[in-house]
Amino acid sequence: MSTTHQATLADEIRQITDTNVVECYQCGKCTAGCPMARYMDLSPNQIMRLVQIGDKSSIDKLLRSAAIWYCAGCLTCTQRCPKKLDPAAVIDALREMSGNQGKTAHAARKIIAFHQAFLKTIQKTGRMSEFALVRRYKLATLDLFGDLAIAPVMLLKGKLPLKSHKIPGRDAIKKIFATCREHSRTAGKGGGR
């Protein structure tokens, strides 16, 4: 008698991150050390538990959660895990799934705009340019005057140079971004991750 295994969210996460969330026994060390936990609608250990459950309701709750976008990626949760699991990688994979499926939380709109502005700036110049980052972020969020008072101080201190410095080798960086875009496209079609 043969049985077939139905792929679960935990299986998909394991394939993407090499983290077996089934091994999480909910000790809570990830949440206890997380500097962002107080701002999250789901704590890191709750995220791990919902991935373990993996039913339709849990998946929807995870992908629409603001918590996956509030994660700072500091890896404290990963460092504290006694089972050597990687909750930060799990959260990163959930962010990608959420974006690919168009289920991102409205509360995460500015966070996503910042991520996109940051990546676009790196793609264009090969390094961070604060003025280009701020310009892209402000235009994307239409929060044009939210922190206008600090701009003159930053300009005077040289913290907001108006001209971005482009580095040599930007073609290699563009290839990295192209590879990532191709990977996202094939992953979105159910292709190999």
For 9-104, CATH number out of 3.40.50.1820, 3.30.70.580, 2.40.160.40, 1.10.1060.10 equals 1.10.1060.10
Cβ(163)–Cβ(155) below 8 Å: no
Cβ(68)–Cβ(95) below 8 Å: yes
Per cent of the chain over pLDDT 90 is: 48
Q: What is the pLDDT of residues 166-177, one digit of tens each?
A: 778 888 888 888
How many whole angstroms separate alpha carbon 45 and alpha carbon 90?
11
Per cent of the chain over pLDDT 70 is: 92
Q: Read off the pLDDT of each residue in 15-31 and give the average, rounded to a whole number.
A: 96
pLDDT at 192: 40
pLDDT at 187: 60
Cβ-based neighbour number of residue 44 at 10 Å? 29
In degrees and rounded to multiples of 5, residue 101 shows phi and psi of: -95, 0
Alpha-carbon Rg for the chain, nearest whole angstrom, is: 19
pLDDT at 193: 33
Predicted confidence band of residue 46 (pLDDT cuts 50, 70, 90) = very high
pLDDT at 191: 43
pLDDT at 55: 94
Q: Read off the pLDDT of each residue in 15-21 and give the average, rounded to a whole number.
A: 95
How many whole angstroms separate alpha carbon 156 and alpha carbon 158?
5
Cβ(95)–Cβ(187) below 8 Å: no
Q: Looking at mean pLDDT, say which of 2-16, 58-72, 141-155 comes out highest.
A: 58-72
Q: Read off the pLDDT of each residue in 31-56 and give the average, rounded to a whole number.
A: 96
Identify the residue with better confidence: 181 or 189. 181
pLDDT at 17: 94
Least confident of 35-49, 90-104, 129-143, 147-161: 147-161
How many whole angstroms separate alpha carbon 101 and alpha carbon 122?
25
pLDDT at 2: 52
Q: What is the pLDDT of residues 58-110, one digit of tens each?
A: 999 999 999 999 999 999 999 999 999 999 999 999 998 998 888 988 888 88
Q: Domain limits of the chain?
A: 9-104, 108-168
